[in-house]
Amino acid sequence: AKEITVLCDAKVALIVFASNGKMTDYCCPSMDLGAMLDQYQKLSGKKLWDAKHEMEFLMTKRRNEKMLVEENRQLSFQLEKIMSLVID
């Protein structure tokens, strides 16, 4: 896929699922996979996901964001404690 991208000056995305369940993917450096899938969906007229999937994705993203914010808050608090011990 990488060689096709370079030799043909083409935008290439490839997703391979092996029989053991392992996934390998490649997307040309000039575009991310999400943008490539959006372009495919627009040009082919085939819907890859619907509003339900989009909502699930957004809800998962929000949960992850909340967890990261909380983790950041806890780490900042721990850092402040360590810094106060070092200063004293």
Residues 67 and 31 in one domain: no
pLDDT of residue 17: 94
pLDDT of residue 78: 96
**Range(s) of the domain holding residue 25:** 1-47
pLDDT, mean of residues 40-56: 83
Looking at per-residue pLDDT, the higher value among 69 and 51 belongs to 69
pLDDT, mean of residues 16-45: 90
Q: Please state the pTM of the whole predicted model.
A: 0.47
pLDDT of residue 18: 93
pLDDT of residue 62: 93
Residues 2 and 26 in one domain: yes
Residues 83 and 59 in one domain: yes
Residues 57 and 42 in one domain: no
Residues 69 and 88 in one domain: yes
Which of 44, 10, 48, 43 lies closest to 29, judged by CA? 10
Domain count, the chain: 2
